[in-house]
Amino acid sequence: AEGGGELVVRELDLASLRSVRAFCHRVLQEEPRLDVLINNAGIFQCPYMKTEDGFEMQFGVNHLGHFLLTNLLLGLLKNSAPSRIVVVSSKLYKYGEINFEDLNSEISYNKSFCYSRSKLANILFARELARRLEGTGVTVNSLHPGIVRTNLGRYVNIPLLAKPLFNLVSWAFFKTPLEGAQTSIYLASSPDVEGVSGKYFGDCKEEELLPKAMDDLVARKLWDISEVMVGLLK
């Protein structure tokens, strides 16, 4: 139909750097433009597992997979400017810390803390990337979607007797997937945020960050270490 778009589905496993590279190679071969990149996928409070490349699963998928994906597509995004990068984080970033001595959770693992750390890493990555892309016409912003009724919480153990109450609460108070997507859609398409970069949003409005999410030194160190971990630098 006139004015219609085409949905193309491509395989991408963020727990595999090999898969990320193959996906990006195909995109660069097939697509002449990339106007918007939304980094939305994630894993939440899973038992201790490792990615194909040996990274703790939540840090590997939520941060490192997206870090490599974005970097490999940066050239196309710049050539397509004005273009936008949207990074989906979480309010739970507030409970995370970037421990450079144990990024891979080899010393200790707490599934809640590691999720929060990966979401803090998302925000630090977005802010550092925005700094690096100043003047290119590519903007980068992060967001929290709120509590959304999806299967993201499939690893959360809810006692059998409490499940009916939990289901009732989720239907009453959690956002639908469509509602949860609104801030991502806003940042991807609204003229209101044209040229806005390095900010954090919730419910389609800019929100304040805790100081630890605005630490430029930590953001730059995390960037440098991430480059080595995903093989962008030897």
Q: Which residues are catalytic?
A: 115
Cis preceding linkage at 82, omega within 30 = yes
Residue 222 to residue 98: CA distance in whole angstroms: 8
Residue 134 corresponds to which amino acid? E
Main-chain dihedrals φ then ψ at residue 231, nearest 5 degrees: 85, 15
Residues 6+ apart with CB under 8 A from 110: none
* 129 token code pair: 């990337």
Strand partners, 138: 83
Check if the beta carbon of residue 67 is closer than 8 Å to that of residue 226. Answer: yes
What DSSP state is assigned to residue 148?
Answer: B
| Residue given tokens 């940066």 in the structure block | 74
